[in-house]
């Protein structure tokens, strides 16, 4: 069935091993983040074989999928939940990243009902302005753990470059570690985990600049894609072909490169621009923005160029291709992080793995 996203398990394992190699000299462990692949158990297992010490995901449904597939590693819930999700959080996550006192209260009640302890990493803001307590509020919320009988404050978590593009620096990591020291003094015992995300943090490891104290990274993109989007680079020693998107050609026509008639906005409200390259051969593929992010598709074969996409169609210039393109043919593309994310979430894209 097409369109199809195909994962190379050996490439996933190899990329995870490379991340482990980068982490090892600094004594840092890492969790494999499976949200980009919708919690696929085979890919999660490959991350663990490659060296991940647990898995992390932002969706409870994905954690459930991983656990029901028999993965018995530690599972971290990345996204803070609302109080109504406390029952499912306790059921499927060994630990979770939280910042709301209302949710902590709900988690404590549910953990008491289940007769268990739930581990929490408090989220701390480091400038990216997504989730996290402001540093001046951290000790105040830390003190509430004296009231929770079934929650354990295992550590702190922070995040970079996901909303605002703020990159980690040695100083911002030192500030994070300093906050952990203050929390330790407040609660009277050390924290077991100082967790930072995301792939962009690997750049500090590469340069040997990560300060002592952080002992866990949450890594997804480097393993699945071999790239660091925020740092605008490929991660050294990784493969970028672990995920391929395959789509079927449904039309091949010679057409001009410039549209004619009055121009308005396209179906997505954008005003596209066009380059006059004369007439050329265009292939229309059954793959669209519903299924992926077309700007992140790189044709595997030379002589192909992605021109654009609508909801359900991808347009590729095949004029320079060394052989004739025919209807019914399958073309393949290397996929970037957001293309993979959308493809894995789309019910119209078949997901397969090769070993």
Q: Which CATH architecture has domain 9-234?
A: Alpha-Beta Barrel (3.20)
Distance in angstroms (rounded) separating the CA atoms of residues 287 and 313: 5
Confidence of residue 266 (pLDDT cuts 50, 70, 90): confident
Q: Write down the pLDDT at residue 275.
A: 84
The pair of structure tokens assigned to 19 is 């991340």
Residues of the chain with CATH 3.20.20.10: 9-234
pLDDT in tens, 7-43: 999 999 999 999 999 999 999 999 999 999 999 999 9
pLDDT of residue 123 exceeding 90, the answer is: yes
Q: Where are the beta strands (DSSP E) in the chain?
A: 4-8, 29-33, 55-57, 75-77, 95-98, 118-123, 151-159, 193-197, 216-219, 227-228, 233-234, 243-256, 279-285, 297-299, 305-309, 314-317, 330-335, 350-354
pLDDT of residue 268 exceeding 90, the answer is: no
pLDDT in tens, 73-91: 999 999 999 999 999 999 9
pLDDT of residue 231 exceeding 90, the answer is: no
pLDDT in tens, 174-192: 999 999 999 999 999 899 9
pLDDT of residue 5 exceeding 90, the answer is: yes
User: Taken in order 199, 204, 208, 209, is the CA torsion positive or negative?
Assistant: negative
Q: Write down the pLDDT at residue 232.
A: 82
pLDDT of residue 135 exceeding 90, the answer is: yes
Q: Which CATH architecture has domain 243-260+273-354?
A: Beta Barrel (2.40)
Q: Write down the pLDDT at residue 153.
A: 97
Distance in angstroms (rounded) separating the CA atoms of residues 182 and 276: 61
pLDDT in tens, 274-295: 888 889 999 999 999 999 999 9
Residues of the chain with CATH 2.40.37.10: 243-260+273-354
Q: Write down the pLDDT at residue 291.
A: 96
* pTM over 0.85, yes/no: yes
pLDDT of residue 264 exceeding 90, the answer is: no
């Amino acid at each position: 069935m097409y369109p199809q996203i195909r994962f190379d398990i050996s490439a996933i394992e190899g990329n995870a091993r490379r991340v482990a190699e980068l982490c090892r000299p600094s004594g840092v462990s890492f969790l494999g983040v499976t949200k980009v692949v919708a919690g696929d158990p085979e890919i999660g297992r490959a991350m663990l074989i490659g060296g991940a010490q647990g898995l992390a995901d932002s969706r409870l449904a994905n954690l459930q999928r991983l656990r029901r597939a028999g993965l018995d590693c530690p599972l971290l819930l990345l996204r803070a939940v609302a109080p109504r999700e406390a029952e499912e959080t306790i059921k499927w996550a060994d630990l979770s990243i939280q910042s709301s006192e209302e949710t902590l209260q709900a988690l404590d009640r549910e953990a008491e009902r289940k007769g268990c302890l739930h581990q929490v990493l408090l989220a701390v803001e480091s400038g990216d302005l997504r989730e996290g307590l402001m540093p001046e509020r951290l000790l105040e919320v830390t003190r509430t753990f004296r009231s929770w009988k079934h929650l354990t404050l295992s550590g702190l978590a922070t995040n970079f470059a996901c909303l605002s593009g703020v990159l980690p620096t040695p100083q911002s990591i030192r500030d994070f570690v300093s906050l952990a020291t203050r929390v330790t003094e407040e609660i009277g015992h050390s924290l077991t985990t100082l967790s930072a995300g995301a792939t962009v943090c690997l750049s500090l490891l590469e340069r040997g600049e990560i300060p002592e104290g952080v002992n866990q990274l949450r890594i997804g993109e480097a393993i699945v894609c071999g790239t660091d989007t925020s740092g605008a680079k490929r991660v050294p020693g990784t493969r970028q072909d672990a995920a391929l998107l395959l789509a079927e050609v449904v039309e091949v026509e010679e057409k001009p490169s410039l549209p004619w008639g009055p121009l308005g906005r396209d179906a997505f409200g954008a005003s596209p621009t066009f380059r006059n390259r004369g007439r050329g051969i265009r292939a229309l593929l059954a793959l669209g923005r519903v299924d992926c992010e077309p700007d992140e598709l790189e044709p595997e074969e030379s002589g192909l160029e992605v021109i654009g996409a609508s909801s359900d169609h991808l347009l590729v210039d095949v004029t320079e291709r060394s052989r004739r393109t025919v209807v019914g043919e399958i073309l393949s593309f290397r996929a970037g992080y957001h293309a993979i994310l959308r493809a894995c979430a789309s019910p119209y894209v078949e997901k397969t793995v090769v070993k």
